[in-house]
Structure 1
Amino acid sequence: MATSSSQILALQRNSSEQNRFIEKLMTKICSFYDEKSLIDVTFKFSNPTALVPAHRLLLAAASPYFENLFNGNQGTNPVIEINDIDSDIFEHLITFCYTGHAPITVNNVATMLNAAIVLQLDDAKNHIVDYLMTHIDEYSLQGAYRLERETQCEVLRQKIFEYETQNFMEISRSDEFLKFDVEKLQRILVSDNLNITREEDAYDAIQRWYNHDVPARQEQLPLLIACLRLTQFNVNFLMTQIQPLPGCELLAFKALSWIREPTVRPLINIRFTEPRGVSASNCGEKTILALCSEMNLKLLRYNKTEDKWQEYASIKMDHELYRTILKDDNLLFVGGNKGGVTCNVVRSWNIRNKTWQNLPAMNQARMAHCLVELNGEIYAIGDYHGNNALSSVERYTTSDGWVFVTSLNVERSYAGAVTLNGKIYAMGGYNGNGGLKSVECYNPDSNTWTFCADMTNSHFLPSVAAHKDHIYVLSRRGAERYDPQQDTWSQICSLEVGLGWMTCLSLDNKLWAIGGKSKSVGNSCVSVFDEENFCWVEKCSFPESDVRSCFVVPESLLSSM
Structure 2
Amino acid sequence: MGGGESSARAVPLRAGSSVQVPPKNSECPPSRLIPCHAACPCPAPGPRSLPSRGPAGLGSAAESGSDRAERAQITPGIIPKRPGPGGAAAACRDPLASRCSGTARLPAPAAIAGTMVRNMDDFDFCLPSHAQGVLEGLQQFRTNPKLADVTLVAGGREFPCHRGILALCSHYFYAMFSGDFAESIAARVELKEVDPSALEMLLDFAYTGKVTINQGNVEGLMRTSSQLHFPAIQKVCSRYLRQQMDATNCLGICEFGESHGCPEVSSKAWSFLQENFEAVSLQEEFLQLSKERLAVYLSNDQLQVQEERSLVEAVLRWLRHDPGSRAQFLPELLELTHLVSLPDQYLQNLLATEPLVRDSDASKALVARSRAMGQSGTGALKNPPSPPQKLEEVLVVVGGRVLEDGEDEERGLEMPAATRNFAFYNPKSRRWMALPDFPDYNKWGFSLVALNNDVYVTGGSRGSQNDTWSTTQAWCFCPRDGVWQPIASMLRARTNHTSAVLNGEIYVIGGTTVDVVEVERYDPYNKSWCAISPALKYVSNFAAASCLGKLYLVGSCAVKYNALTLQCYNPVQDLWSVITSPFIPKYLSAPRCATLRGLIYLIGDNTKKVHVYNPEANIWQKVQLLHTLHENGGMVALGDRLFVTGGHWKGMDGDYRVEMEVYDCSKDLWTREGSLPCLWLFHSSSSIFMDTSKWTEPFQGDHGW
> TM-score, normalised on structure 1?
0.53
* Contact 2:648 2:658 (8 Å CA) reproduced: yes
- Give the SS at the match of 1:321: coil
Distance in 1, matches of 2:678 and 2:650, equals 16
TM-superposed CA distance for 1:198, in Å, is: 5.2
Who is 2:479 aligned against?
A: 351
Q: Does 2:615 correspond to 1:484? A: yes
Q: Does 2:636 correspond to 1:505? A: yes
Cα offsets for 1:398-441 (capped at 9, x unmatched): 42722111101122334211111111111115455445511101
Who is 2:102 aligned against?
A: none
261, 264, 267: which is aligned to 1:183?
A: 264
Who is 2:518 aligned against?
A: 392
TM-superposed CA distance for 1:378, in Å, is: 1.3
Distance in 2, matches of 1:171 and 1:317, equals 38
* Contact 1:393 1:406 (8 Å CA) reproduced: yes
* Contact 1:413 1:430 (8 Å CA) reproduced: yes
Distance in 1, matches of 2:531 and 2:253, equals 34
* Contact 1:287 1:554 (8 Å CA) reproduced: yes
Who is 2:452 aligned against?
A: 328
Name stretches of at least 5 consecutive residues in structure 2 with no aligned partner.
1-195, 199-211, 278-292, 301-384, 402-417, 697-705
Could you say if the C-alpha distance between residues 499 and 481 of structure 1 is closer, same or farther in structure 2, counting changes exceeding 3 Å?
closer
Distance in 2, matches of 1:506 and 1:353, equals 25
* Contact 1:347 1:359 (8 Å CA) reproduced: yes
Could you say if the C-alpha distance between residues 307 and 399 of structure 1 is closer, same or farther in structure 2, counting changes exceeding 3 Å?
closer
TM-superposed CA distance for 1:331, in Å, is: 2.1
Query: Structure 2 matches for 1:441-452, cutoff 5 A?
Result: 441-452=568-579
- Give the SS at the match of 1:187: helix
Distance in 2, matches of 1:412 and 1:275, equals 50
For 1:421, the aligned partner's letter is L
* Contact 2:640 2:664 (8 Å CA) reproduced: no
Who is 2:427 aligned against?
A: 304
- Give the SS at the match of 1:362: coil
Who is 2:659 aligned against?
A: 525
TM-superposed CA distance for 1:277, in Å, is: 9.8
Could you say if the C-alpha distance between residues 304 and 433 of structure 1 is closer, same or farther in structure 2, counting changes exceeding 3 Å?
closer
Query: Structure 2 matches for 1:397-546, cutoff 5 A?
Result: 397=523, 398-399=525-526, 401-430=528-557, 432-434=559-561, 437-453=564-580, 455-478=584-607, 479-498=610-629, 500-515=631-646, 523-531=657-665, 534-546=668-680
- Give the SS at the match of 2:268: helix
* Contact 2:398 2:438 (8 Å CA) reproduced: no
Cα offsets for 1:380-400 (capped at 9, x unmatched): 111242xx5431111122427
Who is 1:378 aligned against?
A: 506
Q: Which structure's CA Rg is the greater one?
A: 2
* Contact 2:448 2:685 (8 Å CA) reproduced: no
* Contact 2:521 2:532 (8 Å CA) reproduced: yes
- Root-mean-square deviation (CA, aligned residues, Å) is 4.5
For 1:537, the aligned partner's letter is T
Distance in 2, matches of 1:296 and 1:545, equals 11
Distance in 1, matches of 2:579 and 2:387, equals 39
* Contact 2:509 2:519 (8 Å CA) reproduced: yes
Distance in 1, matches of 2:271 and 2:428, equals 32
389, 396, 410: which is aligned to 1:289?
A: 396
Could you say if the C-alpha distance between residues 171 and 473 of structure 1 is closer, same or farther in structure 2, counting changes exceeding 3 Å?
closer
Could you say if the C-alpha distance between residues 472 and 334 of structure 1 is closer, same or farther in structure 2, counting changes exceeding 3 Å?
same
Which of 366-375 and 313-322 deviates more? 313-322
* Contact 2:493 2:512 (8 Å CA) reproduced: no
Name stretches of at least 5 consecutive residues in structure 1 with no aligned partner.
1-106, 110-124, 203-273
Between Structure 1 and Structure 2, how many residues are aligned? 353
* Contact 1:510 1:528 (8 Å CA) reproduced: yes
Which of 351-360 and 147-156 deviates more? 147-156
Q: Does 2:244 correspond to 1:158? A: yes
Cα offsets for 1:299-354 (capped at 9, x unmatched): 23223343333333434525432222223343222112240222111222333433
TM-superposed CA distance for 1:358, in Å, is: 2.1
With CA pairs under 8 Å and 6+ residues apart, which has the higher RCO, 1 or 2? 1
Report the identity percentage: 17
> TM-score, normalised on structure 2?
0.43
Who is 1:51 aligned against?
A: none
For 1:482, the aligned partner's letter is Y
Cα offsets for 1:246-301 (capped at 9, x unmatched): xxxxxxxxxxxxxxxxxxxxxxxxxxxx97997xxxx8431212223346452232
Distance in 1, matches of 2:643 and 2:693, equals 20
Distance in 2, matches of 1:169 and 1:156, equals 13
Cα offsets for 1:180-238 (capped at 9, x unmatched): 3x534543565655947459x99xxxxxxxxxxxxxxxxxxxxxxxxxxxxxxxxxxxx
Distance in 1, matches of 2:247 and 2:624, equals 40
TM-superposed CA distance for 1:443, in Å, is: 0.4
For 2:661, the aligned partner's letter is S
Who is 2:357 aligned against?
A: none
Cα offsets for 1:5-50 (capped at 9, x unmatched): xxxxxxxxxxxxxxxxxxxxxxxxxxxxxxxxxxxxxxxxxxxxxx
Distance in 2, matches of 1:276 and 1:132, equals 43
